[in-house]
């Protein structure tokens, strides 16, 4: 939270879950917004679930998302490092839910269940004057479902709105799957960090390869230059030997002629 127009997108994370007869995609947008008028910091996330399996299992079987939240003791004193305190937080989860029937039809090359209805379910939790609190909210997602999560915390002094790492209320996302027993061991944030770490490892390995390639190319150029120097030296030596031979025979025949006189 460094500038007045704080809205940094942690990014869009594409999580592909490949399982037996299952292929699904969860898209996550994650941002932190600051409202100067209300002095509220909002940790916001939006999830969209798309079932891309050929069997259309996402229309008949849910895939759960777990939102694990942590709220610091309230009111949360920000002094002396910053100003004021955080006096309340509100965690709201909005589930745009699709209800399917049992009949499956082909749609854009995939089998999907017949959509019966779309509803909106809201869960809201208000926190104030309490000790440290944590908990979990489990949301079963069906095909095309959307999920919106907002952790809003109120700051009594607006000068602390842009203080870095002052997220008194936050939540972590965990994603399960149909056939993957270990998938709930990692959150989307951890998977994102692991992906970045793998990218860094790959980048470092490519960097090492590039350096080695440059060294090999440099050594090849050096050996090529040395090779040409040796070849030119051999040519010069050969020319020198020719002149030396001619001179030797010249001296030999000159001395021979003087001996005959």
Q: CA 218 to CA 196: how far, in whole Å?
A: 32
Distance (Å) of CA 129 to CA 117, 211, 234:
40, 58, 92
pLDDT > 70? residue 9: no
Q: How many CA atoms lie within 13 A of 239 on its CB side?
A: 6
Beta strands in the chain (DSSP E): 7-19, 22-35, 40-51, 63-71, 76-77, 85-107, 110-128, 133-141, 146-155, 169-175
The string over 238-257, giving b where at least 16 C-beta atoms fall within 10 Å of a residue's C-beta and e elsewhere, is eeeeeeeeeeeeeeeeeeee
The phi and psi torsions of 244 (rounded to 5 degrees) equal: -65, -40
Is pLDDT larger for residue 52 or for residue 81? Answer: 81
Q: What is the pLDDT of residue 115?
A: 78
pLDDT tens track for 103-145: 766 655 555 667 788 999 999 999 999 999 999 999 998 888 9
Mean pLDDT of the chain: 78
Centre a 10 Å sphere on the Cβ of residue 88 and count the other Cβ atoms it contains.
20
Q: What is the pLDDT of residue 148?
A: 96
Q: CA 218 to CA 212: how far, in whole Å?
A: 10
Tokens of 92: 């709201």
């Amino acid at each position: 939270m460094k500038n007045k127009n704080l809205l940094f997108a942690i990014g869009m994370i594409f999580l592909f879950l490949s399982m037996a007869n299952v292929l699904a995609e969860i898209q996550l947008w994650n941002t932190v917004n600051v409202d100067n008028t209300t002095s509220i910091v909002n940790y916001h996330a939006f999830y969209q679930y798309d079932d891309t399996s050929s069997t259309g299992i996402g229309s008949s079987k849910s895939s759960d998302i777990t939102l694990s939240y942590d709220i610091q003791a309230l009111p949360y004193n920000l002094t002396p490092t910053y100003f004021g305190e955080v006096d309340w937080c509100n965690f709201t989860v909005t589930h745009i839910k699709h209800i399917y029937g049992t009949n499956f039809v082909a749609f854009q090359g995939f089998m999907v269940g017949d959509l019966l209805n779309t509803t909106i379910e809201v869960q809201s939790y208000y926190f104030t004057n309490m000790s440290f609190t944590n908990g979990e909210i489990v949301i079963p997602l069906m095909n095309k479902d959307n999920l919106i999560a907002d952790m809003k915390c109120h700051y009594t002094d607006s000068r602390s709105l842009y203080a870095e790492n002052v997220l008194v209320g936050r939540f972590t996302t965990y994603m399960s799957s149909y056939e993957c027993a270990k998938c709930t061991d990692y959150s989307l944030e951890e998977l994102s960090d692991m992906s970045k770490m793998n990218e860094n490892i790959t980048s470092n390995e490519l960097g090492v390869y590039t350096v080695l390639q440059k060294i090999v190319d440099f050594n090849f150029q050096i050996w090529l230059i040395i090779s040409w120097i040796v070849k030119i030296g051999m040519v010069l030596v050969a020319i020198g030997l020719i002149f030396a031979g001619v001179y030797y025979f010249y001296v030999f025949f000159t001395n021979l002629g003087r001996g005959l006189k």
